[in-house]
Structure 1
Amino acid sequence: MTTNRPKQLRLIIETDDFDGALRFYRDVLGMPEQAAFATEGDDRVAILHAGIATIELATPAHAANIDEVEGVPESAGHSLRIALEVDDTPAAVAATETAGLASIAPPIETPFRSLNARIQGPAGWQITFFQELEPLETRESREGFTTDDERER
């Protein structure tokens, strides 16, 4: 393992509707904002904390499987998606709907023991809210949970 591993994942979303995106992530979802450097005029940036970050690598077949599990229509179309762990998926969906964002798929309990829902976020990004229904230690003992190098191909 490298001794210079990343300390932070920062996802950069370029958007023409900066105010709308900022309102959504900071005000609707409640992500705290930290100070960030920008010059003036249209040079705007906001760095928002979203808790712990992970990178999920998925094949197209796995992404299609997740769409099916979450009840996402095939016509939803996407290539980039943000998944945010929340304490209460239905409440997160309700807050985004109140803010005028469209729901793509309602909350559904997945086979991997989370409560997932998908909405259409700002700047063309789809957002999955997921609420873990049991601790990772419990899920790890269930059939189908393993690391890629241990998984049969």
Structure 2
Amino acid sequence: MTHPEDAKARPVRQLRLVVEADDFDAALAFYRDALGLPEQAAFSGDKGARVAILDAGRATLEIANPQQKRMIDDIEVGRQVAPRIRVAFEVDDGRAVTDRLVDAGATEVAPPTVTPWQSLNSRLDAPAGLHISVFQELATADRHGEPDGSETADRTTPPTDS
């Protein structure tokens, strides 16, 4: 149950990223079946309109300046590759998920790489024109400060999901 004071503290209840996919069926098979995002709802409408809402777990919005974006690309890929928007998925086994997604049609841009902030990150070009990161946290949550792994004190540390 939501209390009135909770609504003031958290005015946004959900982040939903809406992606237009020219090949809807291929994108759905990739994100739902290969990546494993459970389908919450699906709707169809007039003239062939279709949408599927997939559960991607906890959502965050990571805002980075151009220097941070370049630094992350340099560390993870060795060159500038990411467009202005990149979608990152935290997984339990970064190598296995990367292999599964490549088998499902993604193009590997950079293999799983251990970052200085102790995550294993890979980069892929995926269906629906998305450039994605798959990342596995290697550090324990207590090394980040909060039980959920969020940063609390050192805001200069690179984000853990980039």
TM-score by length of 2: 0.81
2:124 alignment partner AA: I
Q: Distance in 1 between matches of 2:82 and 2:90?
A: 22
Q: Distance in 2 between matches of 1:147 and 1:97?
A: 33
Secondary structure in 1 matching 2:50: coil
2:74 is the alignment partner of 1:65: no
Q: Distance in 2 between matches of 1:99 and 1:20?
A: 9
Give the alignment partner of residue 96 of structure 1, picking from 84, 101, 107. Answer: 101
Cα deviation per residue 1:6-34 (whole Å; 9 max; x = unaligned)?
Answer: 11110000121111110110010111101
1:69 alignment partner AA: I
Partner in structure 1 of residue 31 of structure 2: 25
Shift of 1:123: 1.8
Give the alignment partner of residue 54 of structure 1, picking from 54, 57, 60. Answer: 60
1:24 alignment partner AA: F
2:88 alignment partner AA: A
Stretches (4+) displaced over 3 A: 1-4
2:54 is the alignment partner of 1:39: no
Partner in structure 2 of residue 123 of structure 1: 128
Shift of 1:138: 0.6
Listed as ranges, the gaps of 5+ residues in structure 2 are: 1-6, 158-162
Q: Distance in 2 between matches of 1:72 and 1:23?
A: 30
Cα RMSD for the two superposed structures: 2.3
TM-score by length of 1: 0.85
Alignment CA distance shift 1:112-1:4 (3 Å): closer
Shift of 1:105: 0.5
Q: Distance in 2 between matches of 1:145 and 1:3?
A: 23
Q: Distance in 2 between matches of 1:39 and 1:103?
A: 35
Secondary structure in 2 matching 1:127: strand
Contact 1:105 1:117 survives alignment (8 Å): yes
* Percent of matched pairs sharing the same residue: 45
